[in-house]
Each structure stands twice: as C-alpha cells, then as structure tokens.
Amino acid sequence: MATTQTLTPSMKRERRASLRRNVFYLVLIAIGLVAPFVAYPVFLMKVLCFALFACAFNLLLGYAGLLSFGHAAFLATGGYVTGYLLASYPALTPELGMLIGTAAAVVLGAIFGALSIRRQGIYFAMVTLALAQLVFFFYIQAPFTGGEDGLHGVPRGHLLGIVDLRSNLAMYYFVFAVFLFGFALIQRTVHSPFGQVLKAIRENEPRAVSLGYNVDAYKLVAFILSAGLAGLAGSTKTVVFQLASLTDAHWHMSGEVILMTLLGGVGTLFGPVVGAGLVVSLQHLLAQSPLGNWVGPILGVIFVICVLSFRSGIVGEAMKMYRKNFK
Amino acid sequence: MTMIFGVPLAVFMGQLLLGLINGAFYALLSLGLAVIFGLLKIVNFAHGAMYMLGAFATLLGMRYLGINYWAALFLAPLAVGLFGMVIERVLLRRIGHLDHLYGLLLTFGLALIFEGSLVNFFGVSGARYPTPELLQGGYQTGFMFLPKYRAWVLLAAVVVCFATWYMIERTRLGAYLRAGTENPALMQAFGVNVPLLVTLTYGFGVALAAFAGVLAAPLYPVSPTMGSNLLIVVFAVVVIGGMGSILGAIVTGLAMGLIEGLTKVYYPEAANTVIFLVMILVLLLRPAGLFGKEA
C-alpha cells in the first residue's frame, strides 16, 4: 500500500515536526557523548545528576501541579541507601546498589505521597517540607548515615562486575545512560494518556474528578515516579562522588531543585536540565570567586527575579519566542 | 521526692515549662502566619527570617544604639513590621493575582537572602543577649525553680496572642480583616481600602514574628539560622491546626509545645520529631486539620 499518497497536509506537518524532534534529540545525545572530551567529566556528571533530580521534580510540579518542598528526602534516601550498601558489601555491584537505593526512595515516596495528597495547594507544600524534615532528623540520628560526617569512601566498583567505574570516562557514560533512561521515562510519561490526565488534574482538579478519574491514584503514581527518579539521581550522585551527606537531605536542597526547575522552565521537558546546568555552574563559579560565601543570597535573588518576572523560565520564554516568530 | 511515671517532679515540671515556652513561640509564629494567610493567601516562608530579624534588631540595637530590652520590645517589631510593609508593597503585591504557590516561592527566596547575608556578617554560631536585669533570677516554688525570664516570656506571649485574638474577633478593624478574608472584592466595593489593609496585615503578621524574636533573644543564641528550623516546625503546627482559626492556631501552638516537652522527658530521641509525627497522625485521622475546614 502506498500510504504516503493518502497523507493530509496536517499529517505531513506532524511528520516533519516529529522528524525535527528526533534530529534534535540525536544532536543532543551526540553532544552528550563528546562532552567529556571538552569539559571536566566530574562536573558534567554533577550536572547530569542534578538535571535528573530536577526533571523528576518537574514531573510533579510541571505536569501534576504539585509543589513538593521535600524532594531532598528522596535524593538523600537514594544516596544513603546506595552508599551504605556499597560501602558495607564490597561484593555488591554498583547498579544493584543503585537499584536498591532507588527502590528505597520509591517506598518513601509512596508513604510521603499517600500522606501529602490528603491536603492540597499550599498545605501540600508544607506537609512535604515537614515530612522531609522528619527524614532529615532521622538521618542525623540513624546509625548507618555517619551523622554530621556523612558516608565517605563509597567504592565505585565495577559495573555489572565488568566495567571499572574508577575511570571518570566510563563513569560518565554510565551516568549519561542513567540520565537518558530517566529522561526518556519522563518524556514517555508526559506524552502518555496518563500524562494527559495529570495535566487535566493540574488544570482543573474538580473537573477531572467529575469526569470519573481517580485523581488521588493519579497523583500518588506521579508522586512515586517522581520520588523514585529523584532517588535514582541521589544513588547515581553517591556512586559518582563516593559520598553521601546531610546536605542532600537539608531543606536547602529541596529549595535548590525548585529553583533549577523554575529558572529553566516549569512544565517544559528541557527546562530542568538547563536550570540544573546553570545553577550547578553558578555554584561552581561562585565557589572559586570572592563571592563564594554569597551563594545562598544570590540564589535567593534569582528566586525572587524568577517569580517576579521570569515565570516561564528560560526554556519556556525561548519556546514562546520561537512560536511567535517562526509559526 | 515525688515522681511522675518514674521522673522526678522537678524535672517533669521543668521540661513542661520549657515545652510551654516553645509552644508560646509556635503560637506567636503560627498566629502571624494565619493572619497573613487569611488575607493574602500567602504562606509566608520569610516568617522565620522575620523572627530572626526581630532578634537581631534587639541585639544590634543594644550593641550600637544603646536601646534596652524594654524599648526593643516595641521598636524591633515596629521596625520589622515597617520593613515587611515595604516588602509587601514592592514585591508581594506584584504577584497577588497569581497562583498562591508563587507567594511561597517568593518569600522563600527572601528568606534565603536575609539568612544568607546575615550569615556572612555574623557567622552561624550565634551571639548571647543578656537577660534584662529586672527579670534575672527566679522564684523557688514548692516543686521547681521558675526563672523569672521564662515566666515573663510565657506571660507576654499569651497576652499578645489573646490581644490579637480579641482585636481580630471583637473589634471593628478585625471585622474588616475577617470580611476581607471572605471577600476582598466586595469590601473594596463598600469603600474599604483593601490594598492598605493587606499591607497593614502583612506588617502586623511579621511584627508578631519579630516580637517573638525579641522574646527569644535572651533565651536562645541569636543567629541567622535561628528562624528557619523553627519555621518548619511551625509549618507542621499549622498543618495540624489548620490556618482557618485564630484561636486554633494559638491552642495548637501551645499544645504542640507541651507535647514536645513531655517527649523530652520520656523519650528524648524523638523530641525533635514528635510534632511531625503528630502531623502525620492528624493527616491520617483528620486530613483538614484539627480546626480546619477543607477549602
């Protein structure tokens, strides 16, 4: 059958758009593949870990409209569980450790989610913040986290027992693969029927309820997915830097991921990646400059500016401009 | 010696008093949050920073301007309140028409700015503020030693809380405030200057936080981070009580302080976390909060 002859103009446009999208993705992947030869791989890995963290957070805020102020808890849980396991059981391969760390974050996410979706809007944010603080206090006192000192000297080990991850280049490609997996999962989720229902809930929850959707179940699944991916980011980060610390569990971290997402663009796929890249670079640059002590206040100022006059974020604004000028 | 469930009475009462004092701070702060939330629908993340600024105004006022504690009790909330009004006018007003989550984010950014800047000047270790002379020492009651300053904090906090309650529930200005909470557009149509009311409300709410800060200055080390950790507990208190009721905020605050004090006696490991656990319990049993109506 010569299907091409029956294509309507709109279908052709759609095809061209999807071709363009695929080329765009391929170019980005290619950039990701050569990046470690241009920039410092450890820095890139840090960016990728935080980018995955921010993408996971954005799945919740951008697509389900739920502002979690407690995502640090999942990052830290993934990190601590993976770090503890890898440090205590040398036979364990890193991917297994990360899997268990992620699973722990999923379980915690199910608990957080089930509790916090019982309240809405501003209360949801406060509940998640309070729960994350509870987790923070737990990690200060728990015997396996090393308290204030954190976990150090977590071995990177051999991926699948074969690939030595002590090489930064091998580690980078592994982290890149993990990031691509997380990003693809989010991309698929957002564009699936499930994602459409999430957006419907974000736009008008009572209507979604009246259409017969079990809104709480959708929110809970989105929350668990987001928590799990945040945990995966934390696990990966621990393997890369070979440590897990309380910084990851502190509410500052929950605020940072909000800033990354907001700066890059809430509800856009690439916004959190851009935001994470910028915030991590900024922290990196400031740390070496005389303004090193002013990271907090500077992030605060960016926060205020974003909220006041830059609410679509960088990617959001760029897409607006693109639509205005090219369509 | 009298024992209560295996704990000496003096220890028991001492912890109970400490708990009540913590509760007084929770009450003052959650009261301010509730007042602000009522009219602005914003959860003021900068509330902890305002409490901290109140304490710092007290400390620096004494150090550089020779302002004593009693004057600071009025001047610090006034200064912080005015500062809050400027913030409301210049920043919060611009996002009044947006989703209220933006208010939370904006005030979070402000909290980062205030806290982070002061850390650079004063470090995190904190400074001591002397207890005012009049309130040094204490009373030896039959079963425990009651420091004068702690008794004063409790008294002052409770008086201010109930004065606020009276003002909101029983005066004309309070009636305006409550009406504005219900329907600001209609209020405006009746000729009430709602934008001014909003500014004053925000100023008043943060002044309450600053007042708590002044009370706290001689009790706790005055440090830039003193407010943020407290604020998260207060958020949990607010979730437990719900922000719909003024009296509810006061009662929940005091009660949570007491529960925290009791936990310190019987299971000190959980003292930091017991309020969060109560919050979980409330979410499970009464999701709208003890005094809340689900919107």
Domains of chain A, by residue range, sit at 38-326
Are B28 and B214 in contact by the 8 Å Cβ rule? The answer is no
- Alpha-carbon Rg for chain B, nearest whole angstrom, is 19
pLDDT score of B294 more than 60: no
pLDDT score of B295 more than 50: no
Region A75-96: what's the mean pLDDT?
91
Bridge partners of B147, per DSSP, are B138
Residue of A nearest to B229 (CA): A133
Three-state DSSP class for residue B240 = helix
Q: What are the pLDDT digits (tens) for A305-314?
A: 988 888 888 8
CB-based burial label for A298 (10 Å; 0-12, 13-18, 19+): middle
Element (H, E) at A159: strand A158-159
Tell me how far apart the alpha carbons of residues B151 and A8 are, in angstroms, rounded to a whole number: 82
CB atoms within 10 A of CB B241: 27
Q: Do A118 and B232 lie within an 8 Å CB cutoff?
A: no
Q: Do B106 and A308 lie within an 8 Å CB cutoff?
A: yes
Q: What's the pLDDT band for B239 if we cut at 50, 70, 90?
A: confident
Q: Which of A37-46, A107-116, B264-273 has the highest mean pLDDT?
A: A107-116
CB atoms within 10 A of CB B3: 10
Residue of A nearest to B273 (CA): A134
Give chain A positions within 8 Å (CB) of B279. 127, 130
Alpha helices (H) along B134-224: 148-170, 172-182, 184-189, 194-216
Give chain B positions within 8 Å (CB) of A306. 105, 109
Residue B49: alpha-carbon gap to chain centroid: 11
Cβ contacts below 8 Å, chain A against chain B, sum to 115
What pLDDT is recorded for position A280? 93
To the nearest whole angstrom, how far is the Cα of A105 from the nearest Cα of chain B? 19
Mean pLDDT of chain A: 89
What pLDDT is recorded for position A136? 92
Can you state the angle between helices A271-288 and A41-64, rounded to 10 degrees?
140
Short-list A262, A257, A269, CA closest to A63? A269
pLDDT score of A73 more than 70: yes
Are B77 and B57 in contact by the 8 Å Cβ rule? The answer is no
pLDDT score of B289 more than 90: no
Q: What's the pLDDT band for A5 if we cut at 50, 70, 90?
A: low
Q: What's the pLDDT band for B30 if we cut at 50, 70, 90?
A: very high
Bridge partners of A244, per DSSP, are A151
Give chain A positions within 8 Å (CB) of B52. none
Region B119-136: what's the mean pLDDT?
83
Short-list B103, B206, B225, CA closest to A303? B103
Provide CB contacts within 8 A for A135, sequence distance 6+: A70, A73, A76, A77, A108, A249
CB-based burial label for A106 (10 Å; 0-12, 13-18, 19+): buried
CB atoms within 10 A of CB B65: 11
Tell me how far apart the alpha carbons of residues B97 and B91 are, in angstroms, rounded to a whole number: 12
pTM for the predicted model, two decimal places: 0.89
What pLDDT is recorded for position B264? 86
Tell me how far apart the alpha carbons of residues A24 and B29 are, in angstroms, rounded to a whole number: 51
Q: Do B100 and A122 lie within an 8 Å CB cutoff?
A: yes
B207 dihedral zone (left: phi>0; alpha: psi -120 to 50; beta): alpha
Short-list B69, B74, B77, B73, CA closest to B129? B69
To the nearest whole angstrom, how far is the Cα of A241 from the nearest Cα of chain B? 26
Of B91, B269, B283, the CB nearest to A308: B91
The CA distances from residue B20 to A53, B17, B191, in Å, are 40, 5, 43
Residue B124, token pair as written in the block: 């995190």
**Per-residue exposure over B250-271, b if at least 16 CB sit within 10 Å of its own CB, e if not:** bbbbbbbbbbbbbbbbeeeebb
Q: What are the pLDDT digits (tens) for A102-137?
A: 999 999 999 999 988 888 888 888 889 889 989 998
The verdict on domain A38-326 having CATH code 1.10.3470 is yes
What pLDDT is recorded for position A47? 94
- Asked if A126 reaches chain B (Cβ–Cβ under 8 Å), the answer is yes
What pLDDT is recorded for position B293? 63
Region B241-246: what's the mean pLDDT?
81
pLDDT score of B55 more than 60: yes
Tell me how far apart the alpha carbons of residues B118 and A246 are, in angstroms, rounded to a whole number: 22
Higher pLDDT, B137 or A264: A264
- Asked if A319 reaches chain B (Cβ–Cβ under 8 Å), the answer is no
Bridge partners of A151, per DSSP, are A244
pLDDT score of B183 more than 70: yes
Lowest mean pLDDT among A182-191, B56-65, B284-293: B284-293
Tell me how far apart the alpha carbons of residues B217 and B68 are, in angstroms, rounded to a whole number: 12
